């Protein structure tokens, strides 16, 4: 039995330690945010935050994730609420600014890649509150491999990151 900390909750999982975290999240814990794209760390569709760092859950083992804080797309709102110290009632009706920006910009086309895009955007904005376009492009194309979108939503993603950054800055002033 392995204990995981997923989206602020302890979850017990019965699976071999070398099981890909993606399989555990989707099949055992029924979290359908992370997607199976390539299964080889080449697309970013499966990304989650592990101790605040974006990782590809398709090549991250269950054993290596034990004892670390895992945040999936489903946990972004609660992550933001905790960071801002929102009460339980406010937290329940709050989206992470990244999620809100994605909706406002109508970023997704087919949507398959967008889990990883929002996870990457969250990681970026937690470390750089006001990234330039060049820094946004770097974030999405550096690392283990670029985040890929077969529908070509890259321009909308850049605009969405900028919108989320502006929204987060406004809320920090409030
Ligand atoms: S499914 Fe993990 S990077 Fe493509
Ligand atoms: S929106 Fe379709 S793959 Fe990115």
Pocket test for ligand 2, best of 109, 118, 120, 157 (most atoms within 8 A of CB): 109
Domain termination site, one of 44, 73, 102: 73
Q: At 20, is the secondary structure helix, strand, or coil? A: strand
pLDDT at 8: 94
- Are both 62 and 78 inside the same structural domain? no
What domain range includes position 108?
Answer: 74-173
Q: Which ligand 1 atom lies nearest to the CA of residue 57?
A: 2
Cα 120 to Cα 127: distance, rounded to the nearest angstrom? 11
Cα 110 to Cα 108: distance, rounded to the nearest angstrom? 6
Mean pLDDT of 125-140: 98
The CATH number that applies at residue 91 is 1.10.150.120
How many alpha carbons lie under 13 Å from residue 80 in its C-beta half-sphere? 25
Mean of per-residue pLDDT scores for the chain: 96
Q: Which ligand 1 atom lies nearest to the CA of residue 35?
A: 1
Nearest alpha-carbon partner for 88 in 74, 103, 77: 77
- Are both 64 and 92 inside the same structural domain? no
Cα 34 to Cα 76: distance, rounded to the nearest angstrom? 12
57 CA from centroid of ligand 1 (Å): 7
pLDDT tens for each residue of 67-117: 999 999 999 999 999 999 997 778 778 999 999 999 999 999 999 999 999
Whether 156 is in the pocket of ligand 2, judged by its Cβ within 6 Å, is no
Number of domains in the chain: 2
115 CA from centroid of ligand 1 (Å): 11
- Are both 162 and 80 inside the same structural domain? yes
């Amino acid at each position: 039995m392995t204990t995981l900390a997923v989206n602020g909750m302890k979850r017990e999982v019965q699976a071999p330690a070398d099981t890909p975290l993606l399989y555990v999240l989707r099949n055992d814990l029924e979290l359908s945010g992370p997607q199976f794209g390539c299964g080889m760390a080449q697309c970013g569709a499966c990304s989650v935050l592990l101790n605040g760092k974006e990782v590809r859950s398709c090549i991250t083992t269950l054993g290596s994730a034990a004892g670390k804080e895992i945040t999936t797309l489903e946990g972004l709102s609660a992550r933001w609420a905790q960071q801002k110290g929102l009460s339980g009632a406010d937290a329940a009706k709050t989206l992470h600014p990244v999620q809100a920006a994605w909706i406002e910009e109508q970023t997704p086309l087919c949507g398959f890649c967008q889990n990883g895009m929002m996870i990457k955007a969250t990681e970026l904005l937690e470390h750089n509150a006001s990234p330039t376009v060049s820094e946004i492009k770097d974030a999405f194309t550096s690392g283990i491999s670029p985040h890929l979108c077969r529908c070509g939503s890259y321009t909308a993603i850049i605009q969405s990151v900028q919108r989320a950054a502006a929204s987060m800055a406004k809320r920090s002033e409030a």
